[in-house]
Amino acid sequence: MTIKISWLSVVGIILTVAMFLLNIESRAQVEGRTALDQIPSNADQATFAGGCFWCIEAPFDKVSGVYFAVSGYTGGTQANPTYKEVSSGQTDHIEAVRVVYDPEKITYSELLNLYWRQFDPTDAGGSFYDRGYQYSSAIFYETEDQRTQAEASKRALDRSGRFSKPIVTPILPATTFYPAEDYHQDYHIKNPTHYQSYRAGSGRDLFIAQMWNPEKETSLISSPPYKKPPEDVIRGRLTSLQYHVTQESGTEAPFDNTFWNSTKKGIYVDIVSGEPLFSSTHKFKSGTGWPSFTQPLVEEHIIEHRDTSWGMTRTEVRSKYADSHLGHVFTDGPPPNGLRYCINSAALRFIPADSLEIAGYGSHIHLFK
């Protein structure tokens, strides 16, 4: 039996299939936008990129205080990009995740802390075995406050010594975010076997385990790499005032320095080595124009010397590992110990309380709870 098919029938079949495929993609993109169309009125948004969006979306989905996380594309100029276009590098978009959260239950700083633990922030060429700009990392800030927090968090991580290479993740203004096709949303739930296989095979899980496992956390806190850098590094890192104070035992002007009247919660570390020295919980108003503390945060990090300069006898305080000149300690402080550690702001770097963990000073978080 011979079956005759007219050319009109062939055209009809082709059009039917095309319309079916187009409808699938259109429906997928609409479904991908549904969550973002239903954002609670009290919600804030944060946008993060760290390579494959499956692996960035999943951790945020599990966090209390996060309404939902959506995989998508952002940073580029092309409207309504598709996965095929972005993943092949045909656009200037990158894969990213938009996190919608309740700021009363979880802070942006806490989201940043979680974000840094999901990828290699020193890799500028992609993420694990996904290579290319479309898989690079980035933080897209929605507000100036987010920008400030993101930059502070990045600096803290960069200076923590956790990574041997510089942090290269850029902090950029948020642009239009395009939700990815529906089959990418909640991929870790829809396709758990493939998702876990992909994570393990890419090297992401091994990297995270090596950089952020409990054993490494403990070692970073209990035996941090406090040491004095080479002279050329110190000169390149410090301002002229910081160098004069710490390396030449100088003194900055009173009432005209960074921390003399600061009331922010956090700890103060050596500007040269990063060793923790003082805490805001021990800071008080002395009226002298310099930061004043009743006691050190870590006593073993403070070394005292007899100072007979300027025709008087005083007790100089220096840091243990960097041997930085910090200031002097006097016996005219408040109860209960009557001590006043008079310290130069130029010798200190401030770590905010909500950045202690990411900066590698997690053992001091209890001071602010």
Q: If residue 111 lies in a helix (H) or strand (E), which one and from where to where?
A: helix 108-116
Pairing status of strand 178-179 against strand 171-173: unpaired
Cβ–Cβ under 8 Å, residues 260 and 291: yes
Pairing status of strand 325-330 against strand 314-319: antiparallel
Q: Catalytic residue among 96, 342, 353, 358, which?
A: 342
Domain extents in the chain: 25-212, 231-368
Label residue 251 by pLDDT band (50, 70, 90): very high
Read off the pLDDT of each residue in 11-35 and give the average, rounded to a whole number: 43
Q: Is the pLDDT of residue 240 over 50?
A: yes
* Order of all β-strands in the sheet with 348-352: 276-279, 266-270, 348-352
Instruction: Tell me which CATH homologous superfamily contains domain 231-368.
Output: Peptide methionine sulfoxide reductase. (2.170.150.20)
Read off the pLDDT of each residue in 258-276 and give the average, rounded to a whole number: 94
Cβ–Cβ under 8 Å, residues 140 and 72: no
Is CATH 3.30.1060.10 correct for 25-212? Answer: yes
Measured CA angle at 153 (ends 134, 283), to 5 deg: 175
Cβ–Cβ under 8 Å, residues 112 and 358: yes
- What's the confidence (pLDDT) of residue 28? 36
Measured CA angle at 24 (ends 32, 195), to 5 deg: 55
Q: Is the pLDDT of residue 2 over 70?
A: no
Q: Catalytic residue among 28, 46, 52, 238, which?
A: 52
Can you tell me the distance from the alpha carbon of 336 to that of 334, in angstroms, rounded to the nearest whole number?
Answer: 6
Is 55 an active-site residue? no
| Closest of 114, 297, 110, 309 to residue 212, by C-alpha | 114
pLDDT in tens, 171-213: 999 999 999 999 999 998 988 898 888 888 989 998 988 888 6
Question: What is the sign, positive or negative, of the torsion defined by CA atoms of 261, 264, 266, 272?
Answer: negative
Q: What is the pTM of this model?
A: 0.55
